[in-house]
Amino acid sequence: MRIRIRLFARLREIADSGDLERELGEVATAEQAWQVLAADFPALAEYRTVVSCAVNEEYARFDTKLHDGDEVAFLPPVSGGRDPGPGIRRPGEFGMRDQ
C-alpha cells in the first residue's frame, strides 16, 4: 500500500519535508510507517517515545492498521506551557535536545 506521511515542527526539519509518501506492505500499522521513516532518517528514532500519531486527521494509536491512501501524521510534543502538570511526559525526560 502507498501512504502519505505528514511531519511537523522538529520532525519536519529532520526529514527536510513535511509531506512524504512511502510504500508499505499489504498489512501495516502506523508503527511500521514510523519505522520505515526512521530507517530513512535515523535522527527521528530517538523521538519515538514522545511522538503522537494521527491517521486520516484523527488522533490514533501506533497499532492502528493502515489502508492504501491513508494519511499518517507524526506529531512531536505540542507547544504546551512549561508546567504541563504531574504525570504528563516532558521531552526532557526522554533526552530530547534543544537545538
Using the contact rule CB under 8 A, the part of the chain among 27-35, 37-45, 62-70, 77-85 near other proteins is 77-85
Residue 74 phi, psi (nearest 5): -110, 130
Per the CB < 8 A criterion, the answer to whether 8 and 75 are in contact is yes
Task: Tell the burial category of 61 from Cβ atoms under 10 Å away from its Cβ (0-12, 13-18, 19+).
Answer: exposed
Using the contact rule CB under 8 A, the part of the chain among 25-33, 36-44, 62-70, 84-92 near other proteins is 84-92
Q: Does 59 bind other proteins (CB under 8 A)?
A: yes
Using CB under 8 A as the binding rule, the residues of this chain from 4 to 43 that contact other proteins are 6, 8-10
Residue 12 phi, psi (nearest 5): -60, -40
Binding site for other proteins (CB under 8 A): 6, 8-10, 50-52, 54, 57-59, 73, 75-82, 84-91, 96, 98-99
